[in-house]
Amino acid sequence: MTLNPRSGIASMIVFSASFFALSSCQQEFAFQPHQAIAQTETIQFTTADLPPLNSDICQTNPEADACNRDPEVTTPGVVTVLFTMSQIPQGAASLIIGNAIKYASPVKNPRVLFLKDSATHGEDEGDADYIKNVLLAGYNVEYREIPAGGLPLDYTFSKDLVIVSNPGHPLSDPQTLTTLEAFKGGVILLGDDLAQGASFSVEDFTGITFRDNGAAISCGGNTFAYDNLLGYSYQIEMNTEFLPGLSDQYKNYTYGNDIDIGEARSGTQVLAWAKADASTCDIGSIPSIVRREK
């Protein structure tokens, strides 16, 4: 992904549902990319305090299983979400995060360490604010920035779940990967280039065999752009097992940015698929959200 002057959250993903008005919470936090977050900040809730998922979709589908916080797994896993979260409508992004947590951690109210990667190169700098203040509302969250050189293991002590955000670049440091591998709890990777590391492989960790950045697709002597709203859009379909109890209008949409093109390895659970626009090249279905048991 290249540097993208932000043109509005709702423009990146288009749902067939028409009611994605911004919540007051999103209005307050999501459009403040230059407001600094403290390097370490903790927000705590008890189990009794847990609100429902912060999603407009859940307000109209309160009984859907996708809207509760009950874990879907009994053992920790690695969930990789190949989207830039701050460019997704809040209702959908909250659903994706909430259900990714349910597939990554067997703990209903996990102690979460949310990390901004050490090298985001100035791209989508509001992503961390959006995720921390809106998408993770209601969870026990400690926010930190990964220092240059990688994630120290002691950052993860006493945590159930580690979430790493790098919206538009590969994972920065091999030491971060080493720490995530050693960590005994669940892990979520958030970013559309996180099927790859910066000059190192994350394939064994994510369960995705990386093929290409996905910013352009070529066939028949033609090249089609899929990057920063400058060309075509991927067609996304989230599985019913990932978002149970919701109709297809909340699971099928378009995404106008690049998605790492790869293949799910044996034993990797694919929770969402992406396809190229039918008017361009047929690349088949590529995984866009996956889970690998840790």
pLDDT digits (tens, 9 = 90+) for 223-234: 999 988 788 999
Quote the distance between the C-alpha of residue 119 and its chain's center.
17
Percent of the chain with pLDDT over 90: 68
CA distance 117 to 66: 28
> Residue 189 corresponds to which tokens in the numbers above?
């990777």
Tokens 């969870």 identify what position? 139
Task: Determine whether 235 is exposed, middle or buried from the number of CB atoms within 10 Å of its CB (0-12, 13-18, 19+).
Answer: middle
Query: What kind and span of H or E run contains 184?
Result: none
Given this model, what pLDDT does residue 230 score? 82
Given this model, what pLDDT does residue 129 score? 85
CA distance 151 to 213: 24
The residue among 251, 253, 218 whose CA lies nearest residue 234 is 253
Given this model, what pLDDT does residue 53 score? 84
pLDDT digits (tens, 9 = 90+) for 20-64: 334 434 434 333 333 333 455 554 444 445 666 889 999 999 999
